[in-house]
Structure 1
């Protein structure tokens, strides 16, 4: 059983490759989180989590899902996180979350994928060459992870690209990000908006309603699916994104 959360599609693609490679059921956290159900595990069934790194940690929706999750202790539990650059101490934050359930995370990995974060100055999507190389490397990386998980590898150290100053990023900068830089209030649609409702349909937490133009609620994960999917680049985040690119996941569709 593999649970996944994805905004722009990178983690969804990784999750599909893993579900196929492990012959495991694939379940969307955004769909499952409010069901209040107990999940039945087959004997020996693996349990995996796939999610993007947000501000050097797991998205809050993933942590909230884990807190609510009802199932017996998995025999083998793993995670795979996707990131545009580095993960910080995402692995430790995730393993601590499952440890509070009395579970042990046997293995964890990161997969570097095309960058999608554009909400701050200095952050933008990758250029075409970098995106192509990242996707090429990701294919091999996911193949390696699939092989490890099939063998039920127990890792002493999680196989994640933490980057520089991981502790500072995850335990000092992350709380600042989550408190002050996660607000949906700067989201707006310009006059270019055609009210196609693609942003509404793409939002994994149903936080957008479109009449004449989209209106954002308060339940935002900052996944930026609405920004990247807009066919006319009408969705903006304050003034920061006006001249930035969009990530369409075009290479993943060809795999």
Structure 2
């Protein structure tokens, strides 16, 4: 069976899980192709799904949904009845209704969704001083990923003929979720910047940016394009890009969520069938 894994991974968490998932699919006898859809350029190219019998989509959770640019890109695809699965990485807060809303999009695009999964991963805002899910994903999450592949593969080959069952929905309208997504900028108050300092101009920040927001020459992110994914910060080999210190907002976030670092780390990755 030929399987295609398409993932969006600004800071590397979703890519890390893609590798674990790929290895397990290979172990069960699949031929696997992976494609990183993070960069703006990658999503301008047409994806030919014809050679593949099944597709996996991976993405982080941005305020209870897949990132906006990923949602928009999914709406350009035509599944032509192919079976697919989704998986998400998140930093311990507010995962639902990501599974439900993404399945809705994929079904509208003529995919048949057989399963989904979520994996605990270090939070993007740890780059600014948060301490959410340090050290994740770890062996616990990798074990769940392997189980996820086994159960998903069984559905891909019709050993298990079921499709994905009921998922947690939300009463929040899309407009409210859109506003919540914008709330990331209440925490990230200083967009990525070099602060006037020089760098080696490797252009990696421009290559990985999902929206073309960062320009290496100016060393500044465009407020109108930036989605606060911090791909440029995470991937800069010189660590030349800076954001504001978010450490003061971390205890406030824990209080709001009625959580502790210990309780967060006790959370487990999950599979949905």
Judge same fold: TM > 0.5, yes or no.
yes
Where does residue 50 of structure 2 map in the other structure? 40
Where does residue 146 of structure 1 map in the other structure? 149
Two-structure CA RMSD over aligned residues (Å): 3.4
Aligned residues: 229
Q: Residue 170 and residue 37 in structure 1: after superposition, are their counterparts in 2 closer, same or farther (change >3 A)?
A: same
Within 5 A, what are the aligned runs for 1:96-135? 96-117=104-125, 124-126=130-132, 131-132=134-135, 134-135=137-138
Question: What SS does structure 2 have at the residue aligned with 1:62?
Answer: helix
Where does residue 252 of structure 1 map in the other structure? none
TM-aligned CA deviation for residue 170 of structure 1 = 8.3
Q: Residue 33 and residue 231 in structure 1: after superposition, are their counterparts in 2 closer, same or farther (change >3 A)?
A: closer
1:156 aligns with 2:165: yes
8 Å CA contact 1:51, 1:80 repeated in 2: yes
2:32 to 8, 14, 24: 24
8 Å CA contact 1:189, 1:236 repeated in 2: yes
What is the alpha-carbon distance in structure 2 between the residues aligned to residue 215 and residue 172 of structure 1? 29
TM-aligned CA deviation for residue 11 of structure 1 = 0.3
Where does residue 216 of structure 1 map in the other structure? 221
Q: Residue 242 and residue 107 in structure 1: after superposition, are their counterparts in 2 closer, same or farther (change >3 A)?
A: closer
The ranges of structure 1 where at least 4 consecutive aligned residues each deviate by more than 6 angstroms after the TM superposition are: 242-245
Q: What is the TM-score of this pair, normalised by structure 2?
A: 0.70
What is the alpha-carbon distance in structure 2 between the residues aligned to residue 84 and residue 103 of structure 1? 28
1:186 aligns with 2:212: no
Unaligned runs of 5+ in 2: 26-30, 251-273
What is the alpha-carbon distance in structure 2 between the residues aligned to residue 81 and residue 242 of structure 1? 25
Q: Deviations over 1:16-37 (max 9, x none)?
A: 2223322321122245421245
Unaligned runs of 5+ in 1: 246-255
